Amino acid sequence: MTKKPRGKSSAFMSLGHVALAGFAVMVVLPMLWAFVSSFKNNTEIFDNAFTWPAKFRWSNWVDAWETAHIGTYFFNTVIVVFFGVAGTMLLGSMAAYVLSRYDFVGNKVIYYTIIGGLGFPVFLGFGPLFKLVQMTKDIPFIGPLLGLNSYVSLVLVYIAYSLPFTVFFLSAFFRTLPTSVAEAAMIDGCSHTRLFFRVMLPMAKPGLVGITIFNIIGQWNQYMFPTLLISDPDKWQLTQGIARISTTAGYEAKWGPLFAGICMAIIPMILMYAFFQRQIQSGLTQGAVK
Partner 1 sequence: MTAPVILYVFFVILPYVEAFYYSFTSWHGFQKAEWVGIDNYKKMFDDDTFWKAVTHNGIILLLLPLATLIIALFFAFLLNVGGKAKAGVSQGVRGSKFYRLVFFFPQLLAVPIVAVLFQSVYRPDKSGVLNGILGFFGVKPVGWLIEPNIALLMLIAVMVWQAIGFYVVLFSAGMSSIPAEIYEAAELDGATPATTFRRITLPLLWGNIQTAWVYLGVAAFDAFAIVDVLSNNQGGPDFSTTVLSEEIYKATLAGKYGYATTLGVALFFLTATFAVIAFTTTKRETIEY
Measured distance CA(222)–CA(215) in Å, rounded: 10
| Residue 19 or 184 with smaller CB distance to partner 1 | 19
Number of residues that bind partner 1 (CB under 8 A): 83
Q: Establish if 80 lies at the interface with partner 1 (CB under 8 A).
A: no
Residue placing its CB nearer to partner 1 in the complex, 187 or 248 = 248
CB of 19 to partner 1, least distance (A): 7
Sign of CA dihedral 128, 129, 132, 133: negative
> CB-wise, 62 or 270, nearer to partner 1?
270
- 140 scored as a contact of partner 1 (CB under 8 A): no
The DSSP-derived string for 66-99 is TTT-HHHHHHHHHHHHHHHHHHHHHHHHHHHHHH
Q: Which of 160, 185, 190, 209 binds partner 1 (CB under 8 A)?
A: 160
Distance of CA 75 to the CA centre of its chain: 16
| Residue 200 is a binding residue for partner 1 (CB under 8 A) | no
* Distance in Å, CB of 125 to partner 1, minimum: 3
Of 57 and 245, which CB lies nearer to partner 1 in the complex structure? Answer: 245
Q: Is 41 in the site for partner 1 (CB under 8 A)?
A: no
At residue 124's C-alpha, the angle toward residues 123 and 126, to 5°, is 60
Q: Decide: 269 and 217 in contact? Cβ < 8 Å.
A: yes
